Chain A
Amino acid sequence: MQAARTPDALTVQARVIGALILREINTRFGEFRAGYLWAVVEPAVHVLSFAFLIAFFAHVAPLGTSLEVFVATAVIPFFFWRDILTRVEQAQRANRALLYFPIVKVMDAVFARVILEIATWLIIACFALALLGLSGFDALPADPLGCIGVMLVIGWSGAGFGMINLAIGVFTGAWERVLHVIIRPIYLFSGVAFLPSAMPDGLRDVIWFLPTAHLIDWLRECFFDGYHSSFLSKEYVVIMGVVCWAAGLFLERLLRARNEME
């Protein structure tokens, strides 16, 4: 028997998020350490296969010395962004049973997933770059700290879009499916095998609205020495992120009562 305590809300939230992260690790990666290794190796290999495939069909790298590394600097952030978006949008449904404990809030589940996903993808990125390096490519970022910073922004941005989906998903599951149909082509237009600034005017103006195109460009600015993009608008990325988070949090609060019924 242990005495009941009433610690402050932040301590409780930190504790709950910590417990959720541990639980997520256990349920997702299995009880074995190798499970987490697999969770890193699998996406890294996936990302690299994509990079090699696309590089095979393209010709000259717009930046750096190899097309493989150039494509990897787009595929990694894009898959990361999409992955965290999906993880956040499913945070509520996947943790429905846990929300039965009043001490666990939806946002705790969201934060736990965001933290775990960012950590996992930083490791995936390092692992993928190490594999590229071992294959004889020049895969060292010019500004490693800057790259980590941009990766954090990507996680925050993807999670923001995930929040909106989480809220809308309360109303209808159809939206989620529609969104993922939209996301797939976004991938091709976000500058995987090209630089957005090298596109013809009309197309570039359309691409400009894709947050992923800016995020990839931003990462490349930090990755490749001496690259300054004329396309990149950091303001756009930040404003979109703030708007998504604000709308997502607002909707989550608004729809909480409705959610309880399901």
Chain B
Amino acid sequence: MAAAERSVFVTVGTTKFDALVERVDSLELLRILRSKGYSKLVIQKGNGSYVPHVVVPAGQAKATTEGIDVEYFDYSPSLAAYISSAALVISHAGSGSIFESLTAGVPLLVVPNPLLMDNHQQELGATLAAGGHLVCAAPDELLNAVRSFDGSRLVPYSKGSPAGMVAAINRQMGFPGAGAGRG
């Protein structure tokens, strides 16, 4: 990758989230990205039925549009690599993608999927947004959220640790002196 490349990675993980893919399939988004100094947009669109056809010509998975290099794909086992090399991640609010991005220190904008039962994506997104670790937006607010996004104002997330739970389980089981496992 070129050093000057600033990539935006959109990811829905293993889910379907057409409302998000549809919102990022937008020339206006590309113009906003360009005005903010981004040069590339990669969309991991997942299992949904919506296929991008605005930011790339219909039937094409790759193109340069409005000065932005755009590509999309369904899924990749190496989403972590896309996340860690991105300058901005726009993600569904699944815990995997969220903590992958936060612990990689990549600026993150999450869009909870409003179709999920008793929307716990909304809960996680809102809690982390309240802590200043990410920006959380509804699908309809996405373009404005990208426009006003300022990664420098985010609060770095301190990675958690299983050590406390491990110690409590060991105590409960009668292994009080046990340490953590070997990796």
- The finding on whether chains A and B are genuine partners in a shared complex, rather than unrelated, reads no
Interface residues of A (CB under 8 A from B): none
